[in-house]
Structure 1
C-alpha cells in the first residue's frame, strides 16, 4: 500500500522509534542497575564476612596473647616447685578474659591444672605441634574432658633461658565465639556461620543441630539430619573448595532445602597455620528485592512513556504536516499561472516558516519578472524596426571606411621596412659592446682570483708567524726547564756528597765497633757481626753515592750542551719571524694595488653593462614598434575585409530584426497568460 500522507509517514516513523527507544533504555537501565546492585550486595556480604572473620581470628589471637603473657611469669617458666607453679596458675585462672581454663603440660605430656589435678595430654596433636615447632598452635574442635563443652585449645610454648620447659594451654569455648558472630546480619534474615578447614560447620547461630554433622566440603548429607535433600548443591561445594584453594573471599549462589541463597566465604587464618572459614548467607530473594522493584518501576515508566508517545506523536505529526500541506496547495495555484500575492497562515520561524517565506519571495520574483518580460517584449518590437533602418546606413558607411583603411595599410608597410634597417644597425653595435663587456669580465675575474690568492698568502704568512711565535715560546720554556734541571742536578750532587761523607763516617764507626767487640771477647761476638754488616752497608752506600755523582756530572754536561743548542735555535726562530713579517708587508701592498685595479675594471664593466642594457631596451622597443607597424598593416587589411563583411552583415541584420519582432509578439502572447 502506497502512503501519500506526510502525517501517516511521520506516525509510522516516530511511533516505532520512540517505542524501541523506551524499550532499549529500560533494558539497558535494568541491566546496569542489576549489575550495580548485585555488585553492591556482594561487596556488602564480603565486608560483613571479612569483618566477623577478623573478629573470630582476633579472639583466638587475644587468647594466645594472654597465654603468652602467663608464660612470661617467672613462677610458671621457672617455678621453684610445683606448689609455686599452682599458685601462679590459680592467679592466672582468676584473670581469664578469653579462656575457659588453663593447663600447664610438662614435656613428658603430663598436664597440671590449677586445682592440682593431672591429665594426660601427650597424645594431643596441638601439644605435639607446639613442642615440635616451638611456636603457638591451635587444636581442632574438641570436647572438654572437664566441662563437656565444645571448643578449641590454644597452646603456647614455655621457655626458660632459651630452652623449652613445657607448654601452657587454654580452652576457648565455642559458646563465646558464637557470641562474637551472633549479631552478624546480612539483608533481612541473613546470618553468619563458621566452618573448619574441612568445611564442617563448627558455629551456627540458627541451627545448632548442624554443628559437626554438615560439611560443605562433602556433597553427601548426613542422614541423621533428616533434611529434604540427600546431597548438597554442587555450587555450594565448589564455592567452598575454591575459597579453600585460593585463600581469598569468594561469593556465589546455591540452593539449600529448596531455598535459593547467596553466600560469601572468607578464610580465617589462625595461629599455627590453622584455617577456618566465615560464611555469610541470605535468601537470594532478599538480595534481588531491590532489583525486582527497579524492574517494575522501569516497566511502569516505559508504559507511561509509550502512552504519552501514542498521544503526542499524532499531534506533533499534524502540526508538522499542516503547513507543508498549505504550501502544497499554494504550489498548485502557482502552477496554474496565478502569481498574485496571498496571505499565509504560517507564522512559525523554523524551516517550514523559512520555506513559506522563500516561496512567497519566489512568487513575488516571478511576478516582477513576468511584468518586466511584458515590457521588454514591447521594447524588442520597437527596437527591431529601428535596427533594420540603422543596418542600411551602416552598409553605406562601410564602403567608405574600406577605402581609407587601404591607404593606411600601404604607409604602415613602408615604415616597417625603415624600422628593420635601424634594428640591424643596433644589433651590430650591441655585438661590439658585448665583446668589450666579456673582455672586461675576464679581466675582473683574473684580478679577483689574484686578490684571493694574495689574501691567502697573507693569511698563510700570518699563520706561519703565529706558529713560529709558539715555537719560540716552547723553545724558551724548554731552555728554562733544562736550566732548572741543571740547578736541581747540582743540588742532588751536594746531597750525594753529604751521603758519601756519612757513609765514610759510618765505615769508621763500624771499624771502631768491631775493634771494641774484639776486645770484649766472646760477649762482643754478636756485636762484631752487626758492626761488620754496618761496615758493608756503608761501603755499598759510598759506592752507590759515587755512581750517582758520576751520573749527575754526565747530566750536567749534556744539559749545558742542550741549553746552548736551544739558545741558537731561538735566535734562528726570531730571524725567520722578522723575514716573514717583511714578506707580509710586501704582500699587503700587492693586495692593495690589485684591489685598486679590480675596482677600476669593475667600473668599466658596469658602464659597458649599462650601455648594453640600453641598446637591448632600444632593440626591444624597435622590435615592438616593428611588430606594431606590421600588425597595423595587417589589421588595416583585416579592417578593410571586415568592412566588406559588415556591409553584407547589415543586410542579414535587417532580416534578423524582422525575425526578432515576430518572436517578441509571440513572447507577449505567452506573458499575457499569467495573472499579476
Structure 2
C-alpha cells in the first residue's frame, strides 16, 4: 500500500513538473538561451554567495575586534578611576585617623567655652591645610568638624562663609542620615559657598567618621573630602572609543556621575536627559534642574534625588523621543539585571570589587543597532560606590568600510557577470548552429530521403556527433534493405505457418477427447480407494484406543504397586516412632517420681519458713510492749516493731500461698503418673495393629505382582497388533498417494492439452496477423529511397 502511494506521488510530481514547464513555455525556448541563462544564473549566484559570506565573515571579525577594544578601553578607564578614588580614600582614612586632628576634635565635643574651642581649632587648622596642600590637584575642599558641625576648613576658609549651619548642608545631612562610617556621594551641585574659589560647579564627596586613637567605637566627628570634578573628567576624557562610540559613568540610582561629552549634565538622572522633545529639549531642562546653583534654597539633597521642581504632565513625558548617543532605559535595566544575575549565579565573587563584560549588539537607539558594554566598580577600599561605565558603539560605523567595499565588489561582480553572459551567448550560438544543421538532416530522413550527406567540419563534440550521424544513416540504409528482403520472406513463411497451425489444431482436438475418458475412469478408481482407506483408518483408530486403554491400566497397576510399597514403608516408620514414644513416656515417668521427692523437700522448707515467721511475730509483739513501757523515748522503736510484725504477717501469707501452689503441683504430678500408666496399655494395642497392617501390605504386593505379570503378556500381544495396523495404514496411504499422483498427472496432461489447443488457436491468429503485418511492412519499406 505504501509503495503504491509512493508511485502515485511520483506520478503526481511528474505531472506537476510538466504543467509548470508548459505554463512557463520552457519547452519553446531554445537550448542556447537556456544555456546562457543557466550559466549567467550560476555565475551570479556563486559571485553573490561568495561576496555575502566573505563580507559577513569580515563584518563579524571587525565587530569582535570592536568588542574587545571597547571593553579594554572601558576597563582601562575604570581602573584609572578606581586608582584615583583609592588614593583619595586612603588620604581621607589617614586624615580621619591623624592623632592631632582626632584628639582635638574629640575635645571640641566636650568644650563649650569659645576661647578653648578656638584654641583647639587653631591646632587642627594647620594640619588640615598641610594635608589639603598635598592633594590640591584632586581635592577641592577638605573639612573636619565635631559632632556639632564646628571645626576647620582647608585653604584658610571658615564656616562664616556659609549662609547656613554646616550640619544643614547636603553632604553632611546625607552622611549622618545614612548612619555609615564611610560614604561616597555621587556628583552633585554642592551648597558650600567657598567652592567658588576653585571655580568648580559640582563635586563628588567622600565622608568618613573621625575616631580618636583611644576609641574606635564612637565617632568624634566628620571628615568631608570634596573631589574636583575636573580631575575625574580628565581621566575619562582621555578615553576615546573607536567607531564614534560613546560612554557615560552612571551611579547607583541611575544618575550621571560623569558625561565626557556634556559635563553640565553631571548630577542629573539618566531618564531626565536621554529623551528630548521635537525641539531637542530634555526633561531636565523643562523641570529647571539645569538652572539650579548652590545658592538655590531648594538644594537640600543631591540633584539626582530632587523630585519634580516643575511639574510636567505625563502626556508630555510620553511624547519625548530617544536621544541619539545616550543610554536608553532598556540598556540600563538590562545591565543592572546582568550584574545581579552574575552575583546570584556565583560567576562573580562578592570579593570582586570590579568586573564587566560586553552585553551584545542587539540594542537599538533610534533604529540604529548598538554594541553595548559596561565596567562595574562596586566599592573603593570597602566603601560602596556602585559606578557603572556603560558604552554604546554604532554597529553601522564598525561595518561602514565593509559596506563601501561590498558596493565595489558588487559592481565588479556585475561587470564579471556581463562578461560571462556575453561569453555564454557566443558559446551557445556556436553550439546551436551545429545542432540546427543536424536537425535539418533529420527532417529529410523523416520524409524518407536516405540519400543525405552530413558535411559538418568541426573537431568538437558536435563534429563527433555529425560523424556518428553519417554512420547512422549508412547503417540505416543497409538495415532498410535487409528489412525489405526479410519482409518478402516473412510473407511466404506466414502462409506456411497458417496451414500447419490448422492441421495441428485438428489433431490436438482428438487427443483431448481421449484424455477426457481416461480422466473419468481414474476418478471412479480414486473414489473406491478413498472408501477403503476410511475403513482401514476406523480399524486403526479402534486398535489405537485399545492400546491407549491398556497403557492406562498398566500405569494404574504400576501406581498401585508403588503405593503399596510406600504404605508398607510408612507403617514401618510408624512402628519405629511408636517405640520412640514408649521410651519417651518411660523417661517422663521417672521425671514424675523425681518431682514427687523434690516436692516433699520443698514442704519441709516451707515449714521452716513458717516457724521463722511465727518467731518474728513474737519478737515484734515483745518489742511493741517494751516500746510502750519506754513511753515517748521508745516511739521510734515502736514504729520499727510495727513494721517487723507486718513483715512477719506477709511472710506467713507468702508461705500459705506457696503451700497451696505446691499442693496443686503434687496433685497434677499424681494425675500425670496415672495417665502414663494408661498410655502403656494403649501403646501395646498400637504395636499389634501396626504389625497386622504390615502383613496385609505384604499380601497386597504379592497380588499386584501377579497382575503385573499378566499385563506384560497382554502388552506383547498388543504390540504385534499395532505393528500390523501400521503396515496396513502405510499400504493404504501409498495406494492413495499413487492414485492421487496418477489423477494429478492426468489433470496436468489434460490442462496442458487445453493450453496446447489455446496456443495453436493463438498461433493461427498470429499467422493471420503476420500476413497483414508483412503486407504493411512491405508498403512502409517501399517509401524509403535506398
Specify the TM-score bucket, using the shorter chain as the normaliser.
0.5 to 0.7
1:621 to 719, 738, 741: 738
Q: Within 1, Cα distance between the matches of 2:158 and 2:637?
A: 88
Query: What SS is found at the alignment partner of 1:164?
Result: coil
Cα 1:307/1:321, change in 2 over 3 Å: same
Q: Within 2, Cα distance between the matches of 1:514 and 1:340?
A: 172
User: Match of 1:9?
Assistant: 34
Instruction: Answer whether contact 2:327 2:392 (CA < 8 A) is retained.
Output: no
1:419-438 aligned within 5 A = 420=525, 424=528, 427-428=531-532, 431-432=535-536, 434-438=538-542
Alpha-carbon offset, residue 187 of structure 1: 1.0
1:138 to 177, 184, 207: 184
1:386-535 aligned within 5 A = 420=525, 424=528, 427-428=531-532, 431-432=535-536, 434-441=538-545, 443-444=547-548, 447-448=551-552, 451=555
Alpha-carbon offset, residue 154 of structure 1: 1.7
Alpha-carbon offset, residue 613 of structure 1: 3.5
Instruction: Answer whether contact 2:149 2:167 (CA < 8 A) is retained.
Output: yes
Instruction: Answer whether contact 1:109 1:123 (CA < 8 A) is retained.
Output: no
Alpha-carbon offset, residue 380 of structure 1: 3.8
Cα 1:168/1:303, change in 2 over 3 Å: farther
Query: What SS is found at the alignment partner of 2:167?
Result: coil
Alpha-carbon offset, residue 615 of structure 1: 0.9
Alpha-carbon offset, residue 166 of structure 1: 3.5
1:560-579 aligned within 5 A = none
Q: Within 2, Cα distance between the matches of 1:49 and 1:423?
A: 111
User: Match of 2:168?
Assistant: 123
Query: What SS is found at the alignment partner of 1:122?
Result: helix
Alpha-carbon offset, residue 444 of structure 1: 0.9
Unaligned runs of 5+ in 2: 1-24, 108-119, 160-164, 274-281, 292-318, 339-358
User: Match of 1:314?
Assistant: 425
Cα 1:547/1:372, change in 2 over 3 Å: farther
> Could you tell me the TM-score, scaled by structure 1's length?
0.61
Instruction: Answer whether contact 1:110 1:118 (CA < 8 A) is retained.
Output: no
Instruction: Answer whether contact 1:444 1:601 (CA < 8 A) is retained.
Output: no
Q: Within 1, Cα distance between the matches of 2:166 and 2:480?
A: 125
Alpha-carbon offset, residue 185 of structure 1: 2.0
Unaligned runs of 5+ in 1: none
Alpha-carbon offset, residue 266 of structure 1: 6.8
1:299 aligns with 2:299: no
1:377 aligns with 2:487: yes
Query: What SS is found at the alignment partner of 1:619?
Result: helix
2:323 to 232, 235, 257: 235
Number of residue pairs the alignment of both structures matches = 628
Q: In terms of mean alpha carbon deviation, does 439-448 or 541-550 score higher?
A: 541-550
Instruction: Answer whether contact 1:447 1:594 (CA < 8 A) is retained.
Output: no
1:227-376 aligned within 5 A = 234-236=322-324, 239-243=327-331, 245=333, 247=336, 276=387, 278-280=389-391, 286-318=397-429, 321=432, 324-325=435-436, 328-329=439-440, 331-332=442-443, 334-335=445-446, 336=448, 338=450, 370=480, 372-376=482-486
- Per-residue CA deviation, residues 33-71 of structure 1 (Å, 9 max, x unaligned), is 768866875776566446635653575466446655776
Instruction: Answer whether contact 2:246 2:325 (CA < 8 A) is retained.
Output: no
Query: What SS is found at the alignment partner of 2:734?
Result: helix
Cα 1:373/1:61, change in 2 over 3 Å: same
Instruction: Answer whether contact 2:540 2:729 (CA < 8 A) is retained.
Output: no
User: Match of 1:109?
Assistant: 149
Q: Within 2, Cα distance between the matches of 1:667 and 1:614?
A: 65
- Per-residue CA deviation, residues 433-479 of structure 1 (Å, 9 max, x unaligned), is 523423423641673598499879989x99999xx99xx9xx99xx9
Alpha-carbon offset, residue 608 of structure 1: 1.8
- Per-residue CA deviation, residues 413-445 of structure 1 (Å, 9 max, x unaligned), is 99869x84x974884475055234234236416
Q: Within 2, Cα distance between the matches of 1:546 and 1:283?
A: 116
Q: Within 2, Cα distance between the matches of 1:543 and 1:612?
A: 102
Cα 1:665/1:294, change in 2 over 3 Å: closer
User: Match of 1:184?
Assistant: 239
Instruction: Answer whether contact 2:40 2:420 (CA < 8 A) is retained.
Output: yes
Cα 1:264/1:626, change in 2 over 3 Å: closer
Query: What SS is found at the alignment partner of 2:218?
Result: strand
Q: Within 2, Cα distance between the matches of 1:538 and 1:361?
A: 152
Q: Within 1, Cα distance between the matches of 2:230 and 2:661?
A: 107
Q: Within 1, Cα distance between the matches of 2:100 and 2:373?
A: 46
User: Match of 2:81?
Assistant: 56
- Per-residue CA deviation, residues 519-574 of structure 1 (Å, 9 max, x unaligned), is 99878866875786688579768867986897799799989999999xx9xx99xx
Alpha-carbon offset, residue 11 of structure 1: 2.8
Alpha-carbon offset, residue 314 of structure 1: 2.0
CA RMSD of aligned residues (A): 7.4
- Per-residue CA deviation, residues 627-672 of structure 1 (Å, 9 max, x unaligned), is 878999x99xx99xx9xxx9xx9xx99x999997897687567546
Alpha-carbon offset, residue 217 of structure 1: 1.6
Q: In terms of mean alpha carbon deviation, does 622-631 or 55-64 score higher?
A: 622-631
- Per-residue CA deviation, residues 366-391 of structure 1 (Å, 9 max, x unaligned), is 56754553453354466568779989
Q: Within 1, Cα distance between the matches of 2:644 and 2:464?
A: 131
Query: What SS is found at the alignment partner of 2:731?
Result: helix
Q: Within 2, Cα distance between the matches of 1:18 and 1:295?
A: 17
- Which of structures 1 and 2 has the larger relative contact order (alpha carbons within 8 angstroms, sep 6+)? 1
Q: Within 1, Cα distance between the matches of 2:127 and 2:711?
A: 122
Instruction: Answer whether contact 1:195 1:279 (CA < 8 A) is retained.
Output: yes
Q: Within 1, Cα distance between the matches of 2:458 and 2:225?
A: 94
Cα 1:17/1:608, change in 2 over 3 Å: same
Q: Within 1, Cα distance between the matches of 2:96 and 2:661?
A: 88
Cα 1:593/1:205, change in 2 over 3 Å: farther
Instruction: Answer whether contact 1:102 1:168 (CA < 8 A) is retained.
Output: no
Alpha-carbon offset, residue 105 of structure 1: 4.0
1:164 aligns with 2:218: yes
Cα 1:193/1:541, change in 2 over 3 Å: farther
Q: In terms of mean alpha carbon deviation, does 358-367 or 314-323 score higher?
A: 358-367
Cα 1:669/1:299, change in 2 over 3 Å: closer
Instruction: Answer whether contact 2:617 2:648 (CA < 8 A) is retained.
Output: no
Q: In terms of mean alpha carbon deviation, does 543-552 or 54-63 score higher?
A: 543-552
Cα 1:598/1:538, change in 2 over 3 Å: farther
Q: Within 2, Cα distance between the matches of 1:347 and 1:549?
A: 145
Cα 1:446/1:151, change in 2 over 3 Å: farther
2:206 to 150, 154, 163: 154
Alpha-carbon offset, residue 294 of structure 1: 4.0
Q: Within 2, Cα distance between the matches of 1:77 and 1:279?
A: 40
Cα 1:621/1:660, change in 2 over 3 Å: closer
1:601-616 aligned within 5 A = 604-605=721-722, 607-616=724-733
Instruction: Answer whether contact 1:266 1:279 (CA < 8 A) is retained.
Output: yes
